[in-house]
Structures are given as structure tokens and as C-alpha cells.
Structure 1
Amino acid sequence: MSDAVNTVVQDLLNRCHELGADPRNTNYAGGNASAKGVETDPVTGEPVDLMWVKGSGGDLGTLKAAGLAVLRLDRLRALVDVYPGVEREDEMVAAFDFCAHGKGGAAPSIDTAMHGLVEAAHVDHLHPDSGIAIATAADGEELTRRIFGDKVAWVPWRRPGFQLGLDIAAIKAENPQAIGVILGGHGITAWGETSAECQANSLEIIRAAEAFLAEHGKAEPFGPVIAGYEALPEDVRRARAAELFPLIRGLASTDRPQVGHFTDADVVLDFVSRAEHPRLAALGTSCPDHFLRTKVSPMVLDLAPDAPVEDVKARLKELHAQYREDYAGYYDRNKVEGSPAMRGADPAIVLVPGVGMFSFGANKQTARVAGEFYVNAINVMRGAESVSTYAPIDENEKFRIEYWSLEEAKLQRMPKPKPLATRVAFVTGGGSGIGAATARRLADEGACVVVADRDLAAAEKIAAELGGGALQASDVAIAVAADVTSEDEIKAGLAEAVLAFGGVDLIVNNAGLSLSKPLLDTTVADWDLQHNVMARGSFLVSREAARIMIDQAMGGDIVYISSKNSIFAGPNNIAYSATKADQAHQVRLLAAELGEYGVKVNGINPDGVVRGSGIFAGGWGAKRAAVYGVDEENLGEFYAQRTLLKREVLPEHVANAVFALTGGDLTHTTGLHIPVDAGVAAAFLR
């Protein structure tokens, strides 16, 4: 790549990053940008005109060079001569592959034609709230003239594709003074002969629209506040959200499991408190990027915030049944021969007045982004209603995009979900040893993980490690402080898990400690401490988690990290072994009780986990080494040599067993204890 081309690409990436960093300019993964330049053809040695454009699925704010599609302009523009017309324009996307330069980079998006056909060196297509507000106003064309004069043109709604690219190219040719266009129902497109000029033109359109709305918009576009629908106090609404979220998540997971996200942002609370919110919510979103993630419209609770919680839960179930019926009607009204099968009739967005918004997706990032997009939609509705009337694209056009064959193909190309995708795991004692290893394995297998530990700093370190590769680390894991001897801390920790991910599906009761003493040296305090942490703590965690799992009605897993000592009578270990036996019997009891809810309860009996173990590092290792008459640094090898396999057990081996029980293969196994001890005959289960 020549220095000149390097400069073109770097300028494009810089522009993308600057535009994408400000949510006023475009939403996450929304919009695209391009640049044209000249490179030497490696085959002919002749100069060739190329275009670099953000590929399908990328995000402007985080775009890298590998996320750009690279196409030959001559071949792309030659497609105009073979374009079969709007009824067959979807065929043109496959033709983009034949315009690739070299390996072509990322897969071209549906907006590629818009960038290639417009006669400008640089083009931006963005989804700013202010621009979409004008684009979705009932008199958007007139507002465009009023705000911009002849500097910005109006493009009537057209589904993204080749024809839209032709339309914009023609309008630019007819309006040489224009710096861009407002796309009816959709967003904006701007251009320039340099990257800086293009960016300046994009920002000029966005800021002018913002200024117009601020100056001319009415004060209360959503109408007056409904009496009694004001936001609940923060602590009350978050407690109510944690109480409702598992039920709502379960309803939203009727067709397929979902992860949830909650926000009580002021913009949401204000919207659902206003008189016009039922009308506007029913109209749905307009920008394709919005409704592809938020669905055609949200589910909206129609009870006051202070309604009794049991009444709210009953009403949510009724509204969900109605939503599913309405969505099926929407699908049936609009489907045509060859339409993809209905992908699910559950809501992606649920609005609860006084409390906030619950959004859902196949993973935490998708759920969070769906909520962010609905906030964008609220901003759009506010802007449009403040100067006009909100008039999104009609239902049939939404359906054509939601069930577009190209969208279906994009979904089919997505990688197969990992085994624990959509599962929310809560691991006690997750800051070290077996708990940390288990948290790592569950996250690697796709779970959202709540690392719970009495040592919050240790939990935060593990959670940050798990989320290190994510755009937002909290999309993968969070840390909570939880001393399992405290009923209040357990309730609070699980409430944090619910507010972060929508509920909990997989509990690992791992928190523990041990004091190695013979009977006569064991004090009541020694006995109580170990029973409080392991027996009582596991009981409390399981009880509070079961409440959530029952409300979700999605089944679940509870795994106890017990011990070989729950079966084997070792020396000088009365308090520890007795509490491990208590845990082992809890497995049997809870398996019998929770089976009717689809909750599996199983146990793991490790032994000799020395390396990486928090318990052994805390003094237990030295005491056990003294009991057996070996050096502490040789304790792991000592344990290994007394096993049948002569292998040392590590925390990762216990984590593997947790995954084996919960990863999807042992769907009919409950009440089981799995030994992870390298073979101790005296601890065999009968």
C-alpha cells in the first residue's frame, strides 16, 4: 500500500472514530463512511480507482482497517448497466463481491452503492437523533427546506439498497450546491472532496438540526405528566426493577433464552411518565438500525408505578400474551411467499412507568445496545413531536426490512452460540482458587458471570480479566461483594446480578474455608464459622437464587463445590468434614424439591486442590502438611501419590466438572455428586 493510500485510509479511520465517539452523531454499529483513492493495480501496474468503506456489521467508533471493504470503483459503477430494477435489487449485494480489490477486506454492507455511486471523494451516512427527528416528522421535507434551504436536499423514504444509492447520486448531481441529504424515515448522508470537508458537512447538518429543534421545539412534546406515573425514588425503583426483572426476562425468553439489560435513565423515566407515551410507543421506531434491534414496537406496562407487585406481575403476563398475538398478526399481515419464518414473538423492549426500561438480546451487549437504540428512538420522537408530528415508516416497510432476505442471510452467517450463551452464572468465592477458575471457564463458554466474593477487590480483578476483550467489560462479568454468612449481602449481591443481566441461571456454591483441628481442639467458634460459611451460606445462596429461577421459569443449575471429605472420614477434620456432608445432603434435598421447576442441583467432590487454592494458601495447607508429615510445598504431590491416577488436582479440573454438569449435555442429571479427586477409593459413591 502506497503512502498516499495509507493516508487516505488513516484519514477515513480517524473520521470514523471522531464521528462514532459522539452518540449525537450516530448510534453504535450504525451508519458508515467511505473514502476514494488511487492505488496501483498489482497485476497491470496501472492506476486503479478504489473505494474503502465500512464493512457490514462494523462500528464507526471502533473501526479498524480490517473492518473496511475495498472495492474497485469501475466495477462497482459498471453494475448500473446490469441493475435489474428495484424489484430485484437484493441481487446486487452478491455482485459487490465481484468488485473486490484483492481479497476485498470486510464484507460490503447494503449501503455500499450509496457510497460508490455518489460522485464525491468522501461520503458519510449517519443516524443522528436530530437528523432522524426531521426525517420522521410528518412534514420532514418542508422542515428540511426551512432549516437548510438548498444546502441539504430531501430524499423520500426508500429501503437501503442499490436504488437508494442511485437516488442520492441523482439528487447530488441535480443539486451541486448541496452538502448532503436528509433520508426520509432514516437518517442523513453528507459528502465532501476531502475527509475534513465531509466530516464538517456531516456535523453541520447534525448541529443545525439540533439547533432548530432546540429553538423551535415545544417544551412538552410528550404531553403532561400522568398523575401517579412519576418516577419512583431511586432505591425504590431499583428494588422494584430487581423484583420484576426475572419474570420479565422469562416472558421475553418464551421463544428463546435472552439476556437482559436495565436502565432507569432520566430520558426513559420522563417518556413513560407522559400522556403521549402509549400512542408513540405503539407507532414503533423508524430508522432500520433501530427497529432491527428493538423490534417493531415495545411492550408497555399500563399500571401506575405504585401498583401492588402481584398485580403488576399478573398484568405483565397478560400484556405479554397480547404482545405475542399482535406480533403474530403483524407477521401474518405482511409476510409474502418466501418470507423467512417468524423469528420469535417476544418483545425486545419492555417499558415500566416509574421504574425504567428492560431490553433483551442474545447476549449482554446486544441487550444493552437494544436499550440504547430505544433511547435514540425516544430522542427522535421527542424531536419530531416538538416541531411536527412523529410519522415513522409504515408497518409493511418495517416488515420488509425485519424479514429481508439479506438480513436473514446475515443472521445465518453469525457464529454458532457457545454452550453457555444466554446463561447468567453467580460464583461465590469467585475471587480466587476454584471459584476464579470456574468463573473463567464459564465465561469462556459464553456465560455472563457474576464474581461474588467477600474480598471485593479480588472479585473485581477476576471480573476485569474476564471482560478484558469486550467492548464493555461489564457485558461479560461484574463483581459483587458478598459475605455468604450475611443474608442481606447475599440478597443484595443477587439483586445486583439481576439488574446487570436480568436474572440468574447457574449458581456455583464455592465459598469456603477450613480449619484443620482434632475434635478436642475444635472450638464452638471454629464449628460455627465453618458451618456459617459453607452450610448456612450455601443454603442462603440457593434459597435466594431459587426465588429468581422460579420467577424466570427458565430452569437452572445449582452446583455445590463440596469435598471428598463429605464421604471420606479423614483425620483431625471434624468441623470441615461435617459441614461438607451438610452441603452434600443439601444437593440431594434441593434436587428433589426444585426439579419441578426445571432446576438441576448437583455437587462436585474435589480433593487435594493445593496449587491456586485460596483455602490452602490461607494456612490450611500448612496444617494438613503437618498432619501428614510432609513439607507444605510437597503437599500437592503427596495428595497425588495417594490417588489411583497419581495425578494432582488443580482448580481448572473442578471448573471442568462444573461445565460438564451445566454445559448442555447432562440435561437429565440432577442429585449427582462427581468426584474430582484423581481416584480415592474410600470416597467412591455407592
Structure 2
Amino acid sequence: MAAKDELLARSHRLGADPAYTNYAGGNTSAKGEETDPATGQPVRLMWVKGSGGDLGTLTGAGLAALRLDRLRALADVYPGVEREDEMVGLFDYCLHGRGGAAPSIDTAMHGLLDAEHVDHLHPDAGIALAAAADGPALTKECFGDRVVWVPWRRPGFQLGLDIAAVRRAHPEAIGVVLGGHGITAWGDTSDECEQHSVEMIRTAQAFLDERGRPEPFGARLAEYEPLPEPERHARAAALAPVLRGLASTDRRQVGHYTDTVEVLDFLASAEHPRLAALGTSCPDHFLRTKVRPMVLDLPPTADLDETVTRLRELHAAYRDEYAAYYRRHADADSPPMRGADPAIVLVPGVGMFSFGRDKQTARVAGEFYVNAINVMRGAEAVSRYEPIPEAEKFRIEYWALEEAKLARMPRPKPLAARVALVTGGGSGIGRAVALRLAAEGACVVVADRDAESAARVAAEIGTADAAVAVEVDVTDEDQIRAGFAVAALAFGGVDLVVNNAGLSVSKPLLETTPADWDRQHDVMARGSFLVSREAARTMIAQGAGGDIVYIVSKNAVFAGPNNVAYGAAKADQAHQVRLLAAELGEHGIRVNGVNPDGVVRGSGIFASGWGARRAAVYGVPEEKLGEYYAQRTLLKREVLPEHVANAVFVLAGAELSHTTGLHVPVDAGVAAAFLR
């Protein structure tokens, strides 16, 4: 197997085990020989995981390929540690061939090291030793001469030179523990390198298990014991929108909730306030979790209003402290402060809330803080947790190279960091709306009384980072509340609600029963009221405004035959738009409506018998109903679910930010339904 293929296979194995590394953390490399297409001569190359990639899903395109002779020649022009950041730009002049990933800051570590294969990883067990107060002595005790301690140094060219020197001075060593950072292992073959990485991680974990004291976080506090799961999740769902609103003070964030055993046990311990205040240690950790979390200092049984008030106080203090942290360490060349809100909020007895620009970023931030808890546990078990100094954390967080990396990220989609809940999302218009909002960057909660249909649409959108499904009958208040709780636990809250759930019964007045009337009004008039009420509660708690969009109908203003119950229910919805726009405007919540013509293709309503009955009313075959509707419009065009979804996107987007109380016709021009 070629060196590049061996590298990818090894990376996938290491990246698949969270005990070895974490998402997008660490990097691996391999050296080998290829023929230079320009000269036809053999050339020594190094393939290394590029900037921002993930080991578990690494592909060839995620590797940077560099000429080894050029890379090592950079040592002759290295200007010293004060200017080492300049070396990253020179890596581009060492690249071989087209394509590939941008070389990361760790490229020198791999290229300058005299070993064919190198792994640089961030395992919890390894960082526990790296972040322990007496890390050098513990490393010696744990590994003997097989592993060497390297004091903390910010990743870069000098660290690569340091590790290369250690390798030359200790030919018997299989790797190093990097103070405050992680581990690096090497080998003459890919298998040997992987074996050395695994040996270091397993040996470190066994050492911690055997030498560690039983309660590294101190005694458990009864008042901070976890609530039973149903109560815990209910409390979390109530707090999530409040916390998301606070964490979005500078820019809108998506939330993620975690209540794993590691988190709950840590928060039930006496030492968690002290340890949390120290912050995380590994650069991979605090780049995602910020310098330290925000920690609630009330028990989970405290009054909810009291808890919310205290969270607001703590958030204000956190922002002041973060701004002071920035001022303490920033200089004239530092990038501007990126935001003073916490990325991690810890609530004893309830769990952890993490925040990011999208769901994946929020989830990964939470995963990294769990890694940090594991590191603290290991370090406290055998020594004392002692992360790198605050000034060094700032140098990493506000590194010019990190700023450049952020600048290379693609521009966010229009609905990025927005969370949408779509009722009746399992088919027809609801499905089209859900798909369009997700395509524009929103996280989507697909709500439908048919749980299987909702699940299919959520799966069509993508992973749980993009969409979740929930069973919601909009006539049931408890199911509606549960649906919004799912949204709160999955994404932190809701910003956009689409009232789409509906049905219809086409009958003449004399054949319409009270049951027909009640059923349609229960779903559309009453159901949209109940959903909007719950949406308003969530949005007001977030304090960041929001959008409620009603899928109404041209029948709200057009008096068609044999349609009294449906038309009246739609007219009710239409006026709800106006009433709620007037009431909720003070909270920044916009309420608008879309009035489609009959949407035949892909419609669950038309497929359930409504289409046949309307076709009979107009005297056309059911399969020709869409064409019939199109021909009676001014534009002679059939309305499809996607056209309605387009209108929802426009209403929810930034371009109509000052529009509320509006009804947008999507009917290809029905003169009798013109708004007056």
C-alpha cells in the first residue's frame, strides 16, 4: 500500500476512537517518494492532514502534499520564534502539485521530524498528564525513557524544531508529551507509528486508573445532584431559549444540550467551580469552548424565575470579565474582540449548554468540554490540574493565523443560525418549506402528526445537526409543548415557525356537519393559534425577535363553492396574522402569511380525497385539476409546493426585515383573490 493510502487508513482508525482524538483535532503524516511530473525524477514528499480537516473522515483532498527538501530548507531561513508565524506563508512554496488542503500550523512538526510516519493527537489521557502540575515527573514515571516531556510552546515552527531535536537526542523514544497540549508519536512504518500512538494513550490511561485517587473532583454536593431525567429535560427545555438568547447577544447562535454522566457528575462535585474557573488547557479545547465557561451557582431546584434572573446577572458579569480578559492581553496587532458571550454554560443538576454558529459547531464545543472534564479528572486524580497561563490562551485564541483561518471560511447562508419549526412538515407544502429552509442554512424541526413522514423528511434534509423530527398533532396542546421542547433541547429554541398543518373537507353548506366544521377549525384556526402562542413564548424568552408565517390560502378572501368550513377557517388564520403582527411587534416578532392557490401535485390534502371532490365541483377529471386551476389564473401557471416555499423563505429572510402583517399571494394571479 502506498504511503498516502496507509496514512488515510491510519487516520480513519485513529479518528474513529474518541479515546484517541476528537473531532477535527490532531494531524497525521506520512513521507514517501513519487515521480516529479516536471522532471521525471523521484522526489521525496510528505502528505499531512491539512488545516481544518477531521481524521475520521479524511480524504485525499484533505491532505497537503509538500516537497520535503523545500520544507526542511526553511530551517535555514527561519527568523526566530518572534517571527515564526511568517513561516506558515512559506509552506505554500513547498507544495507539490495541484489541489490539496492548506498546510496547517503543525506542518513543521511533521516535516522536520526524522521519521517516516508521525501522529499528533489530543487524547484525554495524554492531555491529563500534559496539564498536570508535575507533568514532567509523571511522564517519566508513566513511560520511562520511551516518551519525553516537551514544555509548553505554542504550535509552530519552533515547536517542530524542538521535537526534531528531542528525536535526535533520544533515539530510543517513541514519542513526546507536549506540555499543556497533547502527544506526538512516530514510527518507521505506518503500523509502527499507530502502535506507538495507541501504546502512549493506553499506557497513560492505565497509569491514571491505577495511580489516581477515587474522587478527584472532591465530595458530591447533595443540592447539586442531577434531577431525574424527565424533570431534568423539562428544566433544560425551559432554560435553553433564555440561555440561547443570552449567548446570542453579539451574534445569533445555535444551541446544543448535553447531560451525559461525565457532565452531571462533574457539576455535582464540590470542586467544579474552582476547576471550571481555570478554563480548558489544550488549544483545541479552548478555541471551541472559549477561555472558560459560565457556571450557574444555584441548585436545580431553585425557582425558575430566580434562576433566570441569576443567569442574566452571571451573563452580564461574564461579558464584563471577558472584555477585561481581552484588554489585559490585546496589543495593537490583535484582531478585534470576536464576542463576549459564553460558548459553554454549565447548570448543576441539569447539564451543559453549548453554542456555536451552527449546530455542528455547538455540538462539537460541548464534546470538547466533555474532553476537558476528562482531562481535569485525570490531572486531579494524580496531581493538580494546571492549564497553560491565561496570556498563552489569549495568544492562541486571538492568533493572527487563527483569524486568517476564520476569514477563509465560506460565507454563511441566509438562514444560518436560524431554527425553524414547520407544522405539517411531513408532506406537500410543509415538506417543500422544510427542505428550502434547510437549504438556506436553517436548522429545521419537522413537525407532523405522522411521525414516520416527519422522520423521512428530516432524514432527507440530513443529519441531526440539520433537522429533527417530532410527532405533533396541532390540536393537542401537550404535543405542541413537547414539540417546542424538542426544538429547545436540539437547537436551543426556535426563530421561525411555519403554521402549515391543514386539511379540508369539500361539501355544500347543507351537507356540512358540525363535525366537519369543528375538525377544520380545530386544525387550522385553533391549531395555528396554539402553535403561535407557544412560538411566542419561546421567542420572547430568547429576546431576539422571530418570524411566524401562516400558510393560509386564496380561499381566505375568495368565495368558492362548497367550501364554507375550509374558507372560514382560512379566513380565521388570515386575521390571526394581522392580530398577532399588531401584538407581537414590540418583541421584534414578525407575523406574515402566504396565500397559495390550490396546490395539487405533492399535496397530502388533495391526495386524501379533497382533490376528487374539488374536481367534481368543477366538472373536470381529477388528474386534470392542476391544469384547470392554472388556466383560470392570469399567468396560466400551476402552483407547486416549491413556489410556496419560495415565499416563506423571502418572508423569513433579511430583505423583508421591516415587513409584518402582510399576506403574499402565490396563486399565479387569481383576480377574485386580490387583496383589498
Output the TM-score relative to the length of structure 2.
1.00
Of 566, 572, 575, which residue of structure 2 is paired with 1:576?
566
SS at match of 1:105: coil
Give, in angstroms, the shift of residue 569 of structure 1: 0.4
Which residue identity lines up with residue 3 of structure 2 in the other structure? V
SS of residue paired to 2:326: helix
Q: Does 1:307 align with 2:297?
A: no
2:16 to 16, 21, 28: 21
Give me the identity figure in percent.
75
* Superimposed CA distance per residue, residues 648-683 of structure 1 (whole angstroms, 9 cap, x where no aligned partner): 000000000000101110000000000000000111
- CA offset digits 1:287-328 (Å, max 9, x no partner): 000000000000000001100000000000000000000000
Name the CA distance, whole Å, in 1 between partners of 2:126 and 2:32. 29
Q: 1:99 aligns to what?
A: 94
Paired amino acid for 1:663: G
Counterpart residue number, 1:565? 555
| Residue aligning to 1:282 | 277
Tell me whether 1:68 sits opposite 2:63 in the alignment: yes
* Other structure's SS at 2:323 match: helix
Aligned counterpart for 2:5 among listed residues 7, 10, 14: 10
**Aligned letter for 1:208?**
T
Report the secondary structure of 2:98's partner residue. strand
Amino acid at match of 2:585: G
* 2:386 corresponds to 1:391: yes
CA distance in 2, matches of 1:584, 1:334: 56
Query: Is the counterpart of residue 555 in structure 1 residue 545 in structure 2?
Result: yes
Match of 2:487 among 482, 487, 497: 497
SS of 1:351 mapped into structure 2: strand
Q: Secondary structure at the match of 2:654?
A: coil
**SS of aligned partner of 1:390:** coil
Pairwise CA distance, 1:242: 0.3
Q: Which amino acid aligns with 1:96?
A: F
Corresponding residue for residue 293 of structure 2: 298
Partner of 1:623: 613
CA distance in 1, matches of 2:9, 2:321: 45
Extract structure 1 runs of 4+ deviating beyond 2 A: none
2:508 aligned to which of 496, 518, 527: 518
Q: How does 1:116-135 map to 2 (within 5 A)?
A: 116-135=111-130
AA matched with 1:119: D
Q: CA deviation at 1:227?
A: 2.6
In 2, Cα distance between equivalents of 1:44 and 1:519: 87
The answer for the alignment partner of 2:583 in structure 1 is 593
Q: Given that residues 602 and 671 in structure 1 are in contact (C-alpha distance below 8 angstroms), is that contact kept between their aligned partners in structure 2?
A: yes
Are the aligned partners of 1:607 and 1:677 in contact in 2 as well (CA < 8 Å)? yes
1:57 to 52, 57, 74: 52
Name the counterpart of 1:240: 235
Pick the aligned partner of 1:459 from 449, 454, 457: 454
Q: Distance in 1 between matches of 2:566 and 2:332?
A: 67
Is 2:133 aligned against 1:148?
A: no
Counterpart contact for 1:608–1:640, Cα < 8 Å: no
Gaps of 5+ in 1: 1-5, 468-472
SS across alignment from 1:483? coil
- Judge which range, 189-198 or 7-16, deviates more: 7-16
Instruction: Report if the CA contact (8 A) 1:71-1:104 is conserved.
Output: no
Counterpart Cα distance in 1 of 2:314 and 2:410 = 33
1:104 to partner: Cα distance: 5.1
Q: Would the aligned equivalents of 1:561 and 1:605 in 2 still touch at CA under 8 Å?
A: yes
- Aligned equivalents of 2:485 and 2:608: distance in 1? 30
The aligned amino acid for 2:482 is A
Residue 370 (str. 1) matches residue 360 (str. 2): no
Indicate whether 1:647 and 2:642 are aligned. Answer: no
The whole-number CA distance in structure 2 between the counterparts of 1:535 and 1:9 is 62
Q: CA deviation at 1:7?
A: 1.8
Q: Which of these residues, 646, 656, 662, is aligned with residue 672 of structure 1?
A: 662
1:87 aligned residue (73, 79, 82): 82
> Per the alignment, in what secondary structure is the counterpart of residue 625 of structure 1?
helix
Corresponding residue of 1:470: none
* Cα displacement string for residues 374-425 of structure 1 (whole angstroms, at most 9, x for unaligned residues): 0000000000000000000000000000000000000111111000000000
Distance (whole Å) between structure 1 residues aligned to residue 102 and residue 307 of structure 2: 46
Q: 1:635 matched to which residue of 2?
A: 625
Q: Which ranges in structure 2 are unaligned for 5 or more consecutive residues?
A: none
2:204 aligns with 209
Are 2:553 and 2:597, in contact at CA under 8 Å, matched by a contact in 1? Answer: yes
Tell me what 2:190 maps to.
195
Partner of 1:3: none
RMSD of aligned alpha carbons: 0.5
The answer to whether the 8 Å contact 1:559/1:602 transfers is yes
- Identify which range, 356-365 or 218-227, moves more after superposition: 218-227
Would the aligned equivalents of 1:153 and 1:178 in 2 still touch at CA under 8 Å? Answer: yes
C-alpha separation in 2, matches of 1:501 and 1:421: 12
Out of 420, 423, 427, the residue aligned to residue 432 of structure 1 is 427
Instruction: Give distance in 2, aligned partners of 1:17 and 1:218.
Output: 34
CA distance in 2, matches of 1:347, 1:220: 28
How much has 1:103 moved relative to structure 2? 1.6
Q: TM-score by structure 1 length?
A: 0.98
Contact 1:237 1:354 in 2 (8 A): yes
Q: Give the letter for the 1:522 counterpart.
A: T
Deviations 1:16-38 (A, max 9, x none): 00000000000100000000000
Structure 1 contact 420–447 (Cα < 8 Å) conserved: yes
Give yes or no for the alignment of 1:180 onto 2:186. Answer: no
* Aligned 8 A contact 2:61 2:99 in 1: no
Give the drift of 1:576: 0.2
Q: Is the 8 A contact 2:508 2:562 kept in 1?
A: yes
Instruction: Assess if the C-alpha contact under 8 Å between 2:446 and 2:469 holds in 1.
Output: yes
CA distance in 2, matches of 1:562, 1:304: 45
Give the Cα separation in 1 of the matches to 2:163 and 2:94. 21
Shift of 1:105: 1.1
Equivalent-residue separation in structure 1 for 2:113 and 2:423 (angstroms): 57
Paired AA for residue 566 in structure 1: A
Secondary structure of 1:474's aligned partner:
coil
Which amino acid counterpart does residue 269 of structure 2 have in structure 1? R
Provide the secondary structure at the position in 2 that maps to 1:679.
Answer: coil
Q: Distance in 2 between matches of 1:264 and 1:104?
A: 42
CA positional deviation for 1:54 = 0.3
CA displacement, residues 78-136 of structure 1 (integer Å, 9 cap, x when unaligned):
00000000000000001000000012511000000000000000000000000000000
